[in-house]
Amino acid sequence: MVGITAIGAHIPMYRLNLDEIGKMWQTRTMKGEKAVAGYDEDAITMAVAATLDCMNGSGKDINALYFATTSAPYKEKQSAATIAGATDLGRECHTADFTNSLRAGSIALKAAVAEVKCGTVKQAIVTAADCRKGAPQGRFEQLFGDGAAAVMVGSNNVIATVDDSYSIFSDFTDLWRLDDEAFVQSADGRFVDLVGYIPIMKEAISGIMKKCSLTANDFAKVVFYAHDGREHADLAKKMGFSPAQVQEPLFAQIGNTGTAAALMMLVAALEGAAPNDKILFVGYGDGADAFVLRATEAISRVRNTEGMKDRLARKMPIDYGKYLHWHNLIRVEPPTLPERSEPSLITRWRDRKAVAALYGVKCKNCGTAQFPPIGQKIRICVHCQAKDQFEDYKFSDKKGKLFSFALDQLQPTKNPPGVNGVVDFDEGGRLICELTDCDPSKVSVGMPVEMTFRKMGKGKSINYFWKGKPMAL
Amino acid sequence: MESIRDKVAIVGMGCTKFGERWDMGVGDLLVEAAYEAFKDAGIEPKDVQAAWLGTVFSGISGITLAPLGLQYIPISRVENMCATGSEALRAASYAVAAGVVDVALAIGVEKLKDTGVTGVKGPGLVGDNPDGTAGIAPGYSAPASFAYLASRYFSEYKMKPEDGRKLLAEIAVKNHYNGSLNPKAHFSNLITVEQAMKAPIVAYPLALFDCCGVSDGAAAAIVTRADMAKSFRPDPIYIKALSLAVGARQGAMVQDYDFVHLEENVRASRNAYADAGIKDPRKEISMAEVHDCFTVHEMIVYEDLGFAKRGRAKEDIEAGTFTLKGDLPVNTDGGLKCFGHPLGASGLRMMYEVYHQLRGKAGPRQVKNPRLGLTHNLGGNAGTGIATVFIVGNEKS
């Protein structure tokens, strides 16, 4: 039976309390806080984190990676390929971007299920991430949050089968963003609800229930997209779902994460599911996709991994100024150091294995693992001087400890001071790298760190590389 | 393999005032340093048979020396990051030792203030190479690359960060005191430990006074055969040893590079001591000019060069061993910290001070009866280093 075999998510650790926005604009705010992507995160890096979480160390037999987003960093150039590279998937992995619709996540899920069912791929990862921008002072500024989810679709060790699905499309203009616009716009709220969202969702949900001969009461959990909490509660009521059935949409904790939202809710629902629970899952946007899922005995496996609760707990508050700066919503004084030159695309290509999945080398003669500085590829072992005796060695999945550190006030960064570390990996090898997602006052020698894929800089193209990240905040 | 000991002598030196020389170009600085050296050696420009010019960012090729108007002699530009000044002297010394040149000019220059930005231009950050790799991997500032030494040192020897920082402040205070006695130094102000401790952080644990001056300047030496030296002046100084040790980025790649010592420093000094026949540097070296680009590196150099016991520089710093009146005065002219650091000139500036000290001409900074002086010049940083050591004496054995 085809279904979901593993789940993962990523919530950026920064939170903007909505009161901060209220203070800034002297306006009424919603309750809660929103997750804000770090200055070095975007939809791609968040999807990499969620995908790695979902893969849990094994990329074996993953033949497809589908990425859903409305905020791809490149308009032309595939994001899924970057994600597949960073997560070190095989060269023949089928990659695709599903985009331009809030429903892209469930569309990608539907495609993955179909492809696994017809046997062209063994396992497919569906990952969704969004970093949507709401104009300052507007409702969406308060509403939108950043996050990512990933689910693996396969036919072995299924934790929740995908029993059936039902989809409709609708060319309804409720939310949109034009090609040259930074901010999401929307039609009148009541029009969106009464003419668009509610009837479309009703039609999709009724459609799948009719198709599967199920009623509202048959579901242990219902997981569905909505633009905001009020709309979410309204639909639940109108459909006759009891509060106990309805998966909490996480809006007050992380905001509306766009294409990732429904899948993040699904991840949370599966974490709490019991064997044989029937789950209704509905994605929305330009129509709706409804799915019936059923948890299997294997669902107990997911409880042993990091859950949504832990992800939500790992957080650090930021203020409104940082939020504006990190997301390019304000122009600031440039750093006094000379500007760094653009990376050479040629060098980056030559070192692509190092850039993508932090591949270094290991000497077959003396066993020393080494990560040569980017652009300084080595052929001679720095330890035993053996020539051309290296095998590839991946560092991105290795854990290490901070051997030394420096908090750099001169380094150009949107989150000063620049935190830099000498990381010694537990299984050998050393990397001098930038650290991220950390509290500079708590950085100390000996601190355990892991690696995370981040945006280093944006010029004509975007440069991604790996940074260290403290394992505990 | 022969030693260079007592084959080469320095018979004249020049050094500009270091600092913010807004009104001076590279050419002005070169002329100022070179003509002081010519005059000091009692020679004419036409007597120079070959020249080596050291600069990191302020010019390419031997043509950079064109402002001196030397007439069709061999001139090469040399570069070895912050050890560039020593590299120019090294090249000139070897040519003389080889017997193919009798009178050579070694000159170094850097004009850092023309860039219009704070700090050092070029590859703005550590990790930025001019080969197009800039911006792929992280880039951090030079102070950060030395802050790693301090974080590690404090942790390794179980020092509270504030105690460690105080120790570094003592070094800055000493170098500022020495520099205040030197009219050519970039800075002339005295500082206190408290002031240094309270100064703004540049790259924690290093604060403003842990970092050397970013300066304009040039320095030059006239090098000749030891057996000809006394025909130029009665009190030449003789090269007893010179060595250079270059790492292979071990510190950036392998875990046994410990960041509380620089193997490059150890190897360079060990080889120099062997060539000069020095058994106990702490006792035999009269004074030293070392690469205090950041105070923490001066502290580590004490240990790497055998001036202090491993891990115990603290005892000597607290005892005042390295002050002007101590057993082994270090950076008597103010060092990079206070005299300033125009990259290509610094190695020769160090020698300028040793040259004056060994001849009893260091004025208020004069140490008592010096016999052997040492310069130590580092290019790069911890783990990716270039270390040069010169040992010179005022007597030919």
Of the candidates B144, B125, B134, B344, the one whose C-alpha atom is nearest the C-alpha of residue A337 is B125
What pLDDT does residue A457 have?
85
How many CB atoms are located within 10 Å of the residue A459 CB? 12
For residue B394, give the 3-state DSSP assignment.
coil
- Specify whether the CB–CB gap between A121 and A113 falls below 8 A: no
Rounded CA separation A133/A145 (Å): 9
pTM for the predicted model, two decimal places: 0.95
CA distance A325 to A136: 12
Nearest to A429 by CA among A455, A464, A398: A398
Nearest to A196 by CA among A164, A225, A223: A225
B158 to chain A, any CB pair closer than 8 A? The answer is no
Any idea which residue has 């040192």 for tokens? Answer: B153
pLDDT of residue A82: 98
Q: Evaluate the omega torsion of the peptide bond into residue B183 and state whether it is cis, within 30 degrees of 0.
A: no
Among the partner-chain residues B118, B128, B148, the one whose CB lies closest to the CB of A406 is B148
Contact (Cβ atoms closer than 8 angstroms) between residue B376 and residue B396: no
Which residues from A are below 8 Å from B201, CB to CB?
407, 409, 417
Q: Report the Cα–Cα distance between both ends of chain A, in Å, rounded.
A: 40
Mean per-residue pLDDT, A344-362: 92
Instruction: Please indicate whether, in this complex, the C-beta atoms of B202 and A383 are within 8 angstroms of each other.
Output: no
**B276 vs A459, more confident:** B276
A408/B121 CB distance under 8 A: no
- In this prediction, residue B123 carries a pLDDT of 47
- Collapsing DSSP to helix, strand or coil, A200 comes out as helix
Chain A residues with CB under 8 Å of B121 CB are 338
Fill in the DSSP letter of residue A195: I
Between chains, do A411 and B204 touch, taking CB under 8 Å as contact?
A: no
CB pair distance less than 8 Å for A382 and B250: yes
Q: Is the peptide bond before B205 cis (omega within 30 degrees of 0)?
A: yes
Of B155, B249, B255, the CB nearest to A373: B249
Give Cα separations from A123 to A58, A93, A114, A152, A421 (angstroms): 12, 10, 11, 7, 37
Q: Which residues of B touch A407 (CB under 8 A)?
A: 144, 147, 201, 203-204
pLDDT in tens, B213-261: 899 999 999 999 999 999 999 999 999 999 999 999 999 999 999 999 9
Percent of chain A with pLDDT over 70: 99
- For residues A240 and A218, give the distance between their C-alpha atoms in angstroms, rounded to a whole number: 12
Gap between the Cα atoms of A374 and B137, Å rounded? 6
Residues in chain B within 8 Å Cβ distance of A340: 124-125, 128, 134-135, 139
- Residue whose entry in the numeric block shows the structure tokens 């020495």: B178
Nearest CB among B117, B151, B250 relative to A338 is that of: B117
Q: What is the pLDDT of residue A304?
A: 62
Q: Which of B300, B394, B392, B393 is nearest to B347 (CA)?
A: B392
Tens-place pLDDT, residues A139-177: 999 999 999 999 999 999 999 999 999 999 999 999 999
Record the tokens describing residue B148, joined without a space.
């790693």
- The pLDDT of residue A339 is 65
How many whole angstroms separate alpha carbon A419 and alpha carbon A415?
9
Residue type, A460: K
Inter-CA distances, A194 with A202, A251, B78, Å = 11, 21, 77
Q: What is the pLDDT of residue B240?
A: 98
Interface of B with A in 182-221 (CB under 8 A): 200-204, 206
Task: Give CA separation, A64 vs A67, A92, A94, A97, A308, in Å.
Answer: 10, 9, 4, 11, 25
Work out whether the CA dihedral A448, A450, A451, A457 comes out positive or negative: negative
Q: Which of A383, A403, A410 sits opposite B259 (nearest CB)?
A: A403
- Chain mean pLDDT for chain B: 94
A176: which residues sit within 8 A by CB, 6+ positions away?
Answer: A184, A185, A186
Listed residue (A288, A408, A350, A436) closest to B139, CA to CA? A408
Give the sign of the dihedral formed by CA A371, CA A375, CA A377, CA A382: negative
Instruction: Place B383 in a pLDDT band, splitting at 50, 70 and 90.
Output: confident
Contact A93, A62 (CB under 8 A): yes
Strand partners, A126: A66, A151
pLDDT digits (tens, 9 = 90+) for A167-190: 999 999 999 999 999 999 999 999
pLDDT at residue A380 is higher than 80 = yes
**pLDDT tens sequence across B122-165:** 545 565 555 555 566 767 888 999 999 999 999 999 999 999 99
Are the CB atoms for B306 and B282 separated by under 8 Å?
yes
- Angle (deg, nearest 10), helices B142-156 and B161-180: 130
| Burial environment of residue B49 by CB neighbours within 10 A (0 to 12, 13 to 18, 19 or more) | middle
Q: What is the mean pLDDT of chain A?
A: 95
The DSSP secondary structure of A50-82, one letter per residue, reads HHHHHHTT--TT--EEEEEES--S-SSS-HHHH
Q: Cα–Cα–Cα angle for B283, B286, B287, nearest 5°?
A: 120
Cβ of residue B115 closer than 8 Å to a chain A Cβ: yes
> Does residue A359 sit in helix, strand or coil?
strand
Residue B60 touches chain A, beta carbons under 8 Å:
no
Tokens of A214: 């199920």
Chain A hits for B135, Cβ within 8 Å: 340-343, 456-457, 459, 463
- Could you identify the residue written with the tokens 């924690």? B204
Instruction: Identify whether the C-beta of residue A69 lies closer than 8 Å to the C-beta of residue A259.
Output: yes
**Chain B CA closest to residue A463:** B136
List Cβ neighbours of B57 (8 Å cut-off, separation of 6 or more): B110, B112, B120, B121, B122, B343
Contact at CB, B253 and A382, closer than 8 angstroms: yes
Beta strands B50-54 and B103-111: pairing type? parallel
Looking only at the bridges linking them, the beta strands covering A316-317 and A14-17 are parallel
Q: For residues A454 and A431, what is the distance between their CA atoms, to the nearest angstrom?
A: 15
Q: Hey, of B136, B146, B168, B294, which one would you mutate to test binding to chain A, going by the most A CBs within 10 A of its CB?
A: B136
Is residue B302 within 8 A of residue B330, CB to CB? The reply is yes
Q: How far is A403 from chain B, CA to nearest CA, in Å?
A: 7
- Sort out which chain B residues have CB atoms less than 8 A from A383's CB and list them: 254
Distances in whole angstroms, Cα of residue B302 to Cα of each of B82, B176, B290: 19, 18, 9
**Residue A457 one-letter amino acid:** G
Angle at which helix B161-180 crosses helix B295-304, to 10 degrees, equals: 90
Q: A425 pairs with which residues across the strands? A: A400
Chain centre to alpha carbon of residue B21: 20
Helix (H, G, I), strand (E, B) or coil at A102: coil
**Burial class of residue B271 (count of CB atoms within 10 Å of its CB; 0-12, 13-18, 19+):** middle
Share of chain A above pLDDT 90, in %: 89
Distance CA A361, CA A394 (A): 8
- What are A45-101's pLDDT values in tens digits? 999 999 999 998 888 899 999 999 999 999 999 999 999 999 999 999 999 999 999
Cα–Cα distance for residue pair A295/A273, rounded to 1 Å: 7
Q: Which residues of B touch A366 (CB under 8 A)?
A: none
Q: What is the set of active-site residues of B?
A: 82, 341
Q: Which of B132, B143, B249 sits opposite A346 (nearest CB)?
A: B132
CA separation (Å) from A298 to A3, A154, A282, B298? 12, 13, 23, 61
For residue B54, what are the CA distances in angstroms to A30, A173, B50, B116, B240?
A: 64, 68, 14, 22, 22
Structural tokens at position A140: 């969406």
Rounded CA-CA distance B152/A444 in Å is: 10
Mutate to test the interface with B, among A381, A420, A464, A469 (most CBs of B within 10 A): A420
Q: Do A408 and B140 touch (CB under 8 A)?
A: yes
Cβ contacts below 8 Å, chain A against chain B, sum to: 171
For A373, the closest of B132, B137, B140 (CB atoms) is: B137
CB distance B388 to B244 below 8 Å: yes
**Could you tell me which residues are beta bridge partners of residue A160?**
A4, A295
Condensed to tens digits (0 to 9), the pLDDT of residues B297-319 reads: 999 999 999 999 999 999 999 99
Name A164's bridge partners. A292
A199 pLDDT more than 70: yes
Q: What percent of chain B has pLDDT over 70?
A: 94
What was the pLDDT predicted at A193?
95
Region B162-183 average pLDDT: 98
Q: How far apart are the first and last CA of chain B?
A: 19
Instruction: Characterize B291-312 residue by residue with b for buried, 16 or more Cβ atoms within 10 angstroms of its Cβ, and e for exposed.
Output: bbbbbbbbbbbbbbbbbbeeee
Q: Are A18 and A229 in contact (CB under 8 A)?
A: no
